[in-house]
Homo-oligomer: A and B are copies of this chain.
Amino acid sequence: MISVAVVDAETPGNVGTIARSMKNFGLADLLLVDPPALDPDGEAYGFAGQAREDILPGAQTVTFDHLVENYHTVACTAVPNEDDANHVRYPAKTPAELADSLRDVESDTCVVFGRERVGLTNDELARLDEICSIPASSDYPVLNLGQAATIVLYELRELTVERDQHPDTLHTRADEQAIEGLHEEFAGFVEAVGHPAEKRPKARRMFRRLLGRAQPTGREATTLRGLLRKARHRLNHEE
């Protein structure tokens, strides 16, 4: 199981935001070290969305020692080290690499996020097992706490989300017959519209390249074919 810990957060809103992202990405176990007060009428609950019903009220307040003693801990920081002489912030993984490395390991893991302004201290980092850092602009790599947690949980989704909201395929291409039928209809249309005979092959190639990239769905191919057929009939009838 993957748990999330937030150490010494200042802002209740960030705790609520993290709880919501946890629910969005299939996590449930929230651990808080030295948390701010979480007033049920305050920002934490206001920002938690549906996580106000379960994750936030179920959050446990624990000590930092509890994390170290009971979990494989992953420390998130915006600032990894440049070289290997310092073991506090080197080596590090990106969130995608973290997801890869945890995929086949059975054990309780806790992803640990630090306070808003300064993150986790070096003393805290030194006690945690692994370092994770989100690649961001060198001009301004420091994300808001809630945003950083959201990205890490998003990258871990394959390990934590049983079923996402998407249909089995977000995009199904029309079968090849339907697409070739559309190309035939387009050829008839180009002719009916009076396009010069010597230019027709080029127009057909243009259309083939366009559809080749657009990967039309079955419904798109059918509708377009119907419209072109209708146009051809009308055009031929008007002659």
- A118 interface hit (Cβ, 8 Å): no
Residues of chain B contacted by A144 (CB below 8 angstroms): 17, 20-21, 47, 49
Within 8 A of B (CB), among A13-37: 17, 20-21, 23-26
A-B contact pairs, 8 of them (CB 8 A): A21-B147, A26-B137, A50-B140, A82-B167, A87-B219, A91-B217, A135-B161, A136-B165
Given A24-B141, A137-B163, 10 further pairs, Cβ under 8 A = A20-B144, A24-B143, A25-B136, A81-B167, A90-B217, A92-B171, A136-B161, A138-B165, A143-B150, A150-B150
A85-B219, A170-B133 known; A140 vs B23 contact (CB < 8 Å): yes
Within 8 A of B (CB), among A124-143: 133-143
Residues of chain B contacted by A146 (CB below 8 angstroms): 17, 146-147
- Across the interface, do B165 and A135 meet the contact criterion of CB distance under 8 Å? yes
- A157 interface hit (Cβ, 8 Å): yes
- Across the interface, do A141 and B170 meet the contact criterion of CB distance under 8 Å? no
Within 8 A of B (CB), among A65-96: 78-85, 87, 90-94
- A185 interface hit (Cβ, 8 Å): no
- A113 interface hit (Cβ, 8 Å): no
* Bound-complex Cα distance A80 to B83 (A): 44
Residues of chain B contacted by A78 (CB below 8 angstroms): 165
- A220 interface hit (Cβ, 8 Å): yes
**Which bracket fits the contact residues of A?**
35 or more
A20-B144, A21-B147, A79-B165 known; A157 vs B170 contact (CB < 8 Å): no
Give me the interface of A with B, judged by CB distance under 8 Å: 17, 20-21, 23-26, 47, 49-51, 78-85, 87, 90-94, 97, 133-144, 146-147, 150-151, 154, 157, 161-167, 170-172, 217-220
- Across the interface, do A84 and B219 meet the contact criterion of CB distance under 8 Å? yes
Q: Kindly report how many copies of this chain are found in the complex they form together.
A: 2
- Across the interface, do A170 and B140 meet the contact criterion of CB distance under 8 Å? no
Residues of chain B contacted by A25 (CB below 8 angstroms): 136-137
Residues of chain B contacted by A91 (CB below 8 angstroms): 170-172, 217
Closest to A79 in B: B165
* Bound-complex Cα distance A84 to B224 (A): 14
Residues of chain B contacted by A138 (CB below 8 angstroms): 162-165
* Bound-complex Cα distance A200 to B205 (A): 70
